[in-house]
Chain A
Amino acid sequence: MTSMEAIIFAIVSLIAVVGALGLVFAKNPYHSALWMVFSFVGLAGLLALLEAYFLTVLQLIVYAGAIVVMIAFVMMTIDFRKVGGLSKFVPQWLWGLIISFGILIDLFILASKMKIDVSQSGKNLAIAGSNTKALGMELFTHYLFPFELVAIILLVALIGVVVLTKREIK
């Protein structure tokens, strides 16, 4: 890692982590949504650092853009002031924290012990010239079948959401 890369890495990962922390600990759910955008921007930065440029754009448009807007939009329809009495944390929050830290420690041990072959590091893009092209080739040849499955997931979610939220049907 060059020093430049290291600095960028530090900045974007800080953004991602701080954003995530803000999401979890913000009192106001609207603020949480904004923190989520923040976090996702950091995540997009990490993706860019890993030279996954298509995914960077995807992350920014789909997540930081579309999904957050969707969540915020639905939140708008629910008036939290009227809901009232919505304290932030559950009574057993301490257990949640402890267990999450435990999992974090587990995963850290895993990361530190993990050995992967890095001889090909960073060469995944050279295959087809550009990241997007490589991705497209892979998506529509090797992974055509899962891609079709994704289509079904989206369709199911679409139908489901419509069915669940449309008002009348008697």
Chain B
Amino acid sequence: MEWLLLLCVLSPAVGCIINGLFGRWTYRAAGVIGSTFLGISFALAVPLIIYAIQGHVVDYSYYHWIVSGKFTVPFGLRLDSLSAMMLGVVTFVSFMIHIYAIGYMGGHKGYARFFTYLNLFVFAMLLLCMGNNYLTMFIGWEGVGFCSYILIGYYYEKKTAADAGRKAFVTTRIGDIGFIVGVLFIILYFGSVKFTDVFAQAHMISPAIITIITLALFLGAIGKSAQFPLYVWLPDAMEGPTPVSALIHAATMVTAGVYMVARSAPLYALSPTGSLVVASVGAFTALFAATMALTHFDLKRILAYSTISQIGYMMIGVGVGAYWTGMFHLMTHAFFKALLFLSAGAVMHAMHGVLDMRLMGGLRHKMPQVCIVMIIASLAIAGIPPLSGFFSKDVILSEALMLGHPIIWLVGVVTAFMTAFYMFRMIFFTFFGESRVPEGMHPHEAPSVMLVPLWVLAVGSIVIGGILGVKVHGHISIEHFISLTSPNAFPIVHKYSETLLIIISIIAGVLGIAVAWLAYIPKGAFSFRSFVVRTFHPLYRCFFNLWWVDEIYNFLFCRPFWHVSERFLWKAVDVKVIDAGVDDVGRVAGLTGRAVRILQTGFINNYACWVSAGALIICGWYLLKIM
């Protein structure tokens, strides 16, 4: 089994090497080769997952990488229910995205290069998920960061793309500092980096140290999973090709932070402070990002903010101590977010790169299938039963409340409402109403190589939550499955009626959709309807005169939010404070470099001055002490 696991992880690497070295000759076949190796990986993953579901754990060190005295760092992989889930999600969703990319990237130059990077990306992610120790995880962690850099900056001729890649790299690198420091602390206090060893000793270490470690690790998660305040790279990450966005947002990269926290559950379980920070940051990010998604007109940007928001949800899940809920949402989210991005990509493909929703509208006639899958995905993310998002979101909210975090629960519910609203705003804007497509553009249905993955993911988005989420009395429910490895640390304090909670979250979702519908649909169909209403039923006219509602909405709802989100949150906080903050790190480093560089005048006398000034200061310092 352990060799099967190794093979499964290495398969994308093989694809990467083949495409990388022979890319010049595999031009046409590169996509197929890349996808094939991921397919192999997925095929191998299936028996492994089944094996893990049966309760088996594979923890095998293939090779001792660093050995010094008692301390060893093995290169090893671990398959348990937690990593099995990630294995399934990553390989399957990536496989779909690869297939889609064959169609999407067709005709682009650097086709083979693209698949090389893509395979490498998946390989790094698999390493991150499957490693049985923190350092193997770290290799994947760094690898994912690097791949995101080259993939986001894939269209390097475009300045924005190159900048976005750089931004992603610098920002996540800031987080990585936390991760490295956390790992160094773990080495120092545990004397091992293997998960099993660390977790076995966790209760013997002082809580303060555990808190420091958990916070340091979480800083890494903030960077990788795009949480407040290091989320700024993610909206820009859409500068990359759409399959890359899908990959980053759905299956790989951003989920790494959530997975890492869930993986470190035994540590977080010992640190209420650390957990609370995770949950609070998650809740705040969820709300914050959702408000920002409300007003954008850029298709992919809305999706990007929604990703940040949804990752916030997952962080709530893992932060309150219900680790399985976070992972569950991660899984369902991977499906519908990949679906959303790929459909957005299909729209973009059809619209020749246009992403502004104001230039769309009425596309449901032109591309019905894409429209349908996108609606499915939106329903899923909005949390409408029986689609998958409903189950995962509901358990996060109810667990948050039951574990004694009512405020976080409230924030979650509000966010759920907003999520439903902006997703359907997007749907209505894009696919319904009158066509605002500019002259000369002929949107068309996506080719089947792109549609097939879309439908597969759509089916996944519908059923996956139901299959795993319904609490059967047997043992296969997701809770049971993931709880095998991550303990429910905090005692449940209150028992609320689960039915009530479910109803509340459904209401939040439905309400969101309804408001979106009220706000956007009738306006487009206004002339026809008003004609009908005016002629036949004056009362009807009053009832349906939604100009008024639209105005009210605009005045009461949209404006304030627009002000709050656009003016304040987005413009002031995001652009000025955080964006500038991250840029400033780079800028300060650069400016300091430039300032310091002036010391290097090229004149030998100045150099000699430095040497002697150094001597003077150091000697003088010590001599002052004996004066």
Contacts and interface: CB of A to CB of B under 8 A. Distances in A.
Contacts of A100: 612
A103 B612 contact: yes
A81 interface: no
B264 to A, nearest CB: 53
Contact of A103 (B605, B615, B626): B615
Contacts of B615: 103
Contacts of B627: 109
B623 interface: yes
A65 interface: no
Given A106-B620, A109-B627, A92 B609 contact: yes
Given A109-B623, A113-B626, A99 B605 contact: no
Interface string B594-627: 0000000001011011001101100110010011
B608 to A, nearest CB: 8
A106 B616 contact: yes
A109 B615 CA distance: 14
B270 to A, nearest CB: 54
Interface residues of A, number: 12
What DSSP secondary structure best describes chain B's contact surface? helix
Contacts of A90: 603, 605
Interface string A90-113: 101001100110110010011001
A102 B605 contact: no
Contacts of B626: 113
A110 B605 CA distance: 26
A99 B606 CA distance: 11
B612 A92 contact: no
A100 B619 CA distance: 13
Contact of B605 (A92, A106, A113): A92
Contacts of A92: 603, 605-606, 609
Interface in A21-55: none
Contacts of B609: 92, 95-96, 99
B626 to A, nearest CB: 6
Interface in A99-131: 99-100, 102-103, 106, 109-110, 113
B614 to A, nearest CB: 10
Nearest to B613: A99
A99 B620 CA distance: 11
A90 B607 CA distance: 13
Nearest to B608: A96
A96 B620 CA distance: 17
B222 to A, nearest CB: 46
A26 B609 CA distance: 21
A125 B161 CA distance: 79
B623 A99 contact: no
Contacts, number: 31
Given A109-B623, A109-B627, A113-B626, A103 B606 contact: no
A102 B623 contact: no
A117 to B, nearest CB: 19
A99 B612 contact: yes
Nearest to B619: A106
A106 B619 CA distance: 7
A92 B613 CA distance: 14
A110 B616 contact: no
A89 to B, nearest CB: 9
A102 B620 contact: yes
Contacts of A106: 616, 619-620, 623
Nearest to A107: B619
B623 A103 contact: no
A107 to B, nearest CB: 8
A109 B627 CA distance: 8
Contacts of B613: 99
Nearest to A100: B612
Instruction: Give the one of A100, A103, A106, A110 with max B CB within 10 A.
Output: A106
Contacts of B619: 103, 106, 110
A103 B615 CA distance: 8
B339 to A, nearest CB: 67
B603 A99 contact: no
Nearest to A110: B623
Nearest to B601: A92
A98 to B, nearest CB: 9
Contacts of A99: 609, 612-613, 616
Contacts of A95: 609
A100 B616 CA distance: 8
A113 B622 CA distance: 12
B563 to A, nearest CB: 57
A123 to B, nearest CB: 29
Contacts of A113: 623, 626
Contacts of A103: 612, 615-616, 619
A106 B627 CA distance: 11
Contacts of B605: 90, 92, 96
Contacts of B623: 106, 109-110, 113
A25 to B, nearest CB: 16
Contacts of A102: 616, 620
Nearest to B605: A90
A99 B615 CA distance: 10
A103 B612 CA distance: 8
Nearest to A109: B623
A110 B606 CA distance: 26
A90 B608 CA distance: 12
Contacts of B616: 99, 102-103, 106
A24 B62 CA distance: 69
A100 B608 CA distance: 11
A46 B623 CA distance: 28
A109 B619 CA distance: 10
A101 to B, nearest CB: 9
A34 to B, nearest CB: 24
A103 B623 CA distance: 11
A102 B627 CA distance: 15
A90 B605 CA distance: 8
B273 to A, nearest CB: 50
A62 to B, nearest CB: 26
Contacts of B603: 90, 92
Interface in A56-113: 90, 92, 95-96, 99-100, 102-103, 106, 109-110, 113
24 contacts: A90-B603, A90-B605, A92-B603, A92-B606, A95-B609, A96-B605, A96-B608, A96-B609, A99-B609, A99-B612, A99-B613, A99-B616, A100-B612, A102-B616, A102-B620, A103-B612, A103-B615, A103-B616, A106-B616, A106-B620, A106-B623, A109-B623, A113-B623, A113-B626
Interface of A: 90, 92, 95-96, 99-100, 102-103, 106, 109-110, 113
Nearest first, the 7 A-B pairs at minimum CB distance are A102-B616, A90-B605, A106-B619, A109-B623, A99-B612, A103-B616, A99-B613
Interface of B: 603, 605-606, 608-609, 612-613, 615-616, 619-620, 623, 626-627
Given A96-B608, A100-B612, 20 more contacts: A90-B603, A90-B605, A92-B603, A92-B605, A92-B606, A96-B609, A99-B612, A99-B613, A102-B616, A103-B612, A103-B616, A103-B619, A106-B619, A106-B620, A106-B623, A109-B623, A109-B627, A110-B619, A110-B623, A113-B626
